[in-house]
Amino acid sequence: MKRVLIACEYSATVRDAFRARGFDAWSCDLLPTEGDPRWHIHGDVLSFLTGMARPWDLLIAHPPCTDLAVSGARHFPAKIADGRQQRALEFVQRLLDAPVPHIALENPISVISSKIRKPDQIIQPWQFGHGETKSTCLWLKNLPKMVPTDVVEGRSDRIHKMPPGPNRWKERSRTYQGIADAMAGQWGDYILKTERLAA
């Protein structure tokens, strides 16, 4: 059974999409999970990338975008001055360099593009059944680009119009179910096919 680690995920959305397809999928976050805790690692993902009894076959990472997203560019001078942005970039680089054969890293439009490398793909929720706009960049290692599964007409910018509140960041960072299902279906099938061809 292929092992999948979903880094920086508390919602269990992507993890559970993979588990529903028979993968040994785990989420990992500094926050407790909103889903079944039996398959959640509560801690720093960097401590669990190596040294496991069985290695990971696929890593999907959703690193915090607070200090990276261009939507917060007005705060960049302070974040650069106190080192927050550099620490965030170093975290991203460590995830991209993880000793895992297949990797996807997801973030909004951010300085990752200029400081590390440009994304391999940019997707939108409306390509996967959700009538909203939210540019999502994907940095890929040994994975194919995602193929839209359900292009719909809506183009709401609900995410950007969310009112201020203590949980706003959580809701803005939540993965859409249609995208999670597409990741599990397309990338899950890809790594299984890759294994069969190598056998």
CATH of the domain at 62: 3.40.50.150
DSSP state of 31: S
Q: What domain range is 145 assigned to?
A: 3-198
pLDDT in tens, 26-42: 999 999 999 999 999 99
- CB neighbour list of residue 138: distance below 8 Å, 6 or more residues apart: 104, 105, 106, 119, 120, 121, 122, 123, 145, 146
136 beta partners: 123
pTM strictly above 0.85: yes
Q: What angle do CA 163, 106, 93 make, to 5 degrees?
A: 120
**Which one-letter amino acid corresponds to residue 95?**
L
Q: pLDDT grade, residue 155 (50/70/90)?
A: confident
Write down the mean pLDDT value for the chain.
Answer: 92
Name which of 36, 2, 48, 47 is nearest 22 in CA terms: 2
- Total domains in the chain come to 1
Confidence of residue 88 (pLDDT cuts 50, 70, 90): very high
Tokens linked to 198? 């190598």
Beta strand pairing call for 136-141 and 121-123? antiparallel
